[in-house]
Amino acid sequence: MKVVLFCGGLGTRIREYSENIPKPMIPVGQQPILWHLMQYYSRYGHRDFILCLGYKANIIKEFFLNYRPQVYTDCVVSHHGSKVEYLNELPKDWNVSLIDTGIWRNIGERLWAVRSHVEKDEIFLANYSDGLSNVNLDDVIETFKASGKVACFMAVRPPLTFHLVDMTSEGQVKQLRPSDASDIWINGGFFVMRREIFDYMEPGDELVHKPFERLIKADQLLAYKHEGFWRPMDTLKDRQVLEDMAERGSMPWAEDPPTIRTSKAACE
């Protein structure tokens, strides 16, 4: 399946990095988070990528135009670098379409801009490109196919704990509850969609606002609940968590697909 990756946002919540490079190119370990995400999809056999570029698009283009597979495998170099002998199997090849979708467009507009690249495919995948997970993608896809719905997103629990406040209209506090003890789920940014998604979109729509509202009314939206690992990279703290995991060699998103099926439920 083709994988649409939204790579054009400004990344304002992690501006210390994104002022110099686009958010998907922020490193986790030795490689950009975008590379980790594409490796994740590759392990499931999905290697045809459509990158929706925008902010600092040239940096992402240069990464792929100068891509050297020998960097990612053991090798022996001789003849002053002109001869390279690979000691391990090379990473699987990718087909990468680099599409400039503009700097100021929202996610829905970026998807609309690349619709000609996926509208002949019955099903395609999409991702915000700023988070990593170990969700069993095969299970997500099979669950989505069985549902017959138009779109699906991975629902996850917030990675941080907040105190939820129950209060009256006058501000009197009735109860404080930690969010990790509540049944709260959020959109994790991993999507599976049928080409009919474009029938629910109008020019200028943000993807998860009006189009998803229309899908909910038509009972065509599925949420796949994932209880396993998921971590976004919205802030410097998030980036440090992922960086620490990479330094320890503890990277759930890079492991073989889990065998235990995670739970899922239709979004009403």
CA-to-CA distance for 252 and 55, rounded, in angstroms?
A: 29
Question: pLDDT tens digit string along 57-71?
Answer: 999 999 999 987 777
CATH for 2-266 is 3.90.550.10
Where does the pLDDT of residue 51 fall: very low under 50, low under 70, confident under 90, or very high at 90 and above? very high
Please name the residue ranges forming H helices in 8-56: 15-18, 33-43
Contacts for 62 with CB less than 8 Å, ≥ 6 apart: none
Quick check: helix, strand or coil at residue 181?
helix
The pLDDT tens digits of the residues spanning 68-88 come to: 777 777 889 898 888 888 887
Please give the Cα distance from 234 to 187 (Å, whole number): 14
Q: Residues, the chain, total?
A: 268
Pairing between β-strand 186-194 and β-strand 163-167 as defined by DSSP bridges: unpaired
| Residue 143 token pair | 């669950």
The pTM assigned to this predicted structure is 0.87
Look-up: residue for tokens 């030795």?
30
| Domain boundaries along the sequence of the chain | 2-266
Using one digit for the tens of pLDDT, what is the confidence trace for 204-250? 999 999 999 999 999 999 999 999 999 998 888 888 999 999 999 99
For residue 262, what pLDDT is reported? 46
* pLDDT classification of 158: cutoffs 50, 70, 90: confident
